[in-house]
Amino acid sequence: MLATATAATLVGVDGHVVTVEVHISSGLPSFTIVGLPDAACREARDRVRAAVLSSGLEWPQGRVTVNLAPSGLRKGGAVLDLAMAVAFLAVTGQLPAESLRGRAFVGELGLDGAIRGVVGVLPLVDALRDRAVVVAPEAYHVARVAAPREVYAVGSLSTLASVLAARAPWPDPPHDPPAPAAVPVPDLGDVIGQPSARRAVEVAAAGGHHLLMLGPPGAGKTMLARRLVGLLPELSRECAMEATRVQSAAGLPLPTGLATRPILRSPHHTATMAALVGGGTTAIRPGEISLAHRGVLFLDELGEFAPSVLDAMRQPLEEGTVQVSRAAGACTFPTRFLLVAAMNPCPCGQAGRPNSCRCSDVVRQRYLRRLSGPLLDRFDLRIQVQPPDPDQLLDGVRGEPTTIVASRVRAARERAASRGVETNVELSGAQLEHHAPLTAAAHAALRERLRAGLLSGRGLHRVRCVALTLCDLADDEPEIDADRLNEALTLRASVDKLYAPAAA
């Protein structure tokens, strides 16, 4: 006797449809799961049996074999519990077999028969879109984001059994989650003074330029980074879906279902390569660079991260995806994020300020050498954050608030969108030439810089991108004059100058 139920399992950030086949025959009582289950998945047999019995249903004696097809795909976690239980009920005649047809079951079972949510609901349900999907009540809102044919939230196996046996109607869906109690988003108005740092944060948000902040401890680097997220516009549905998929697959809380606000991830500097880029031993999990997809990845104390970990980010930064390969398989994760990094200029934090750094040249240079040149090159905005002016700090006059700056950012992004890109960083050299011509004065200034060796050819392109973002923010004609260009050059300060202050 055989019954099948449909479910899905998570590989990376993608759901894969799994057919759960349950066979029962006479013989010594046993319960075997085949088809590459991992340890958690194999433990399902104890959960399923207990859940069935606690739900007032029967567990007839017999030899039960569960096959998870396709059998070559490694299945992890408890996500298949519910499908195994309903297929078992069908094969033992406690449910009509046709009640499982066209439906999919995604959930973990408790010993009391409760249906629980699982990690990765969004990609799982997304893979099962052409079916009616049964999920746990807490997973309902996320599941609905994937827009499957139908979603039912059922709280327990006994309820589900009565519904499938047509003895009861589907339970009412849970209420919409309360509108998120206005999470206190830190406001840019808290930042007092510091005009150049505020400017850099605004430009980073508008143009998608990666930002590196150097400054002494207590200058407000972390404060600025946390306020940058508030400047970013709402995500489009498509982007929000991409971001939510990753966040769901990683088990991050998604109280509102779709994550429409860009996320801020700030891993500690002890993060390992696998934590940052993705990886893992049993299942390949997305790393911080993927969790920050369509949001902001904030690396505080950049100089304290392991250099090899930082360098591993270079390729994903450039390509927007990362392929994590392990012996068990390979996964591709999206990695489009805004990189914001902060560090002290040297271990004592005072480098640059004339005659105040206590570090020796060797120590200072060793601190810098942790950042490779190619990584530094990815930062279009490299600014010195200096402590705010004491007078202004005590005056209590607040800076420009987030709402005003965010509206400028939104307008600038709309201008960028009219050029066919999301942000200005994506513009190619030819597109820049077409969209943002240089004035004669800007040309002359650039030539002087290039001649004096103050700017590389590679730097030139990035500086023009930033200058174009400055135009967009000012809502000006995209023609780059000398002031814009010089401002862009200032925002992309050369970092190495800091570290060999008096080198001959």
Q: With contact defined as beta carbons under 8 Å apart, do 464 and 480 qualify?
A: yes
Specify the residue, 278 or 388, whose C-beta has the smaller distance to other proteins.
Answer: 388
Q: Out of 176, 319, 448, 475, which residue is the one contacting other proteins (CB under 8 A)?
A: 448
The first and second tokens of residue 450, run together, are 């290039």
- Nearest CA-CA partner of 14 in 105, 129, 103: 129
398 binds other proteins (CB under 8 A): no
Specify the residue, 411 or 482, whose C-beta has the smaller distance to other proteins.
Answer: 482
Instruction: List helix spans (H) across 7-120.
Output: 39-42, 44-54, 81-91
Segment near other proteins (CB under 8 A); pick from 63-71, 297-305, 458-466, 496-504:
496-504
Segment near other proteins (CB under 8 A); pick from 95-103, 117-125, 307-315, 378-386:
378-386
101 binds other proteins (CB under 8 A): no
CA 62 to centroid of chain Cα atoms: 47
- Give strand pairing partners of 341: 212, 299
Segment near other proteins (CB under 8 A); pick from 114-122, 314-322, 371-379, 489-497:
489-497
The first and second tokens of residue 466, run together, are 């930033």
Other beta carbons less than 10 A from residue 350's beta carbon: 18
Q: Out of 365, 398, 406, 438, which residue is the one contacting other proteins (CB under 8 A)?
A: 365
384 binds other proteins (CB under 8 A): yes
Between helix 440-451 and helix 457-474 the angle, nearest 10°, is: 150
Which x/- pattern, by CB under 8 A, does the window 52-91 give for other proteins? ----------------------------------------
Q: Least Å distance between CB 384 and other proteins?
A: 3
Q: Least Å distance between CB 275 and other proteins?
A: 32
Write the secondary structure of 258-317 as one string of H (helix), E (strand) and C (coil): CCCCCCEECCCCCCCHHHHHEECCCCCEECHHHHCCCCEEEEECHHHCCHHHHHCCHHHH
470 binds other proteins (CB under 8 A): yes
Other beta carbons less than 10 A from residue 501's beta carbon: 12
Q: Which of residues 214-253 bind other proteins (CB under 8 A)?
A: 214-215
Q: Least Å distance between CB 407 and other proteins?
A: 19
Other beta carbons less than 10 A from residue 397's beta carbon: 10
Q: In whole angstroms, what is the distance from residue 44 CA to residue 86 CA?
A: 13
Specify the residue, 73 or 363, whose C-beta has the smaller distance to other proteins.
Answer: 363
- Give strand pairing partners of 177: none
Q: Least Å distance between CB 464 and other proteins?
A: 15
Q: Out of 65, 67, 162, 196, which residue is the one contacting other proteins (CB under 8 A)?
A: 196
Q: How many degrees, rounded to 5, is the angle at CA 399 between CA 398 and CA 405? A: 140
353 binds other proteins (CB under 8 A): yes
162 binds other proteins (CB under 8 A): no
Residues that bind other proteins in the complex, under the rule CB under 8 A? 193-197, 199, 214-215, 345, 351-355, 361-362, 365, 383-384, 386, 388-389, 392, 445, 448, 452, 470, 482-484, 486-487, 489-490, 493, 497-498, 500-504
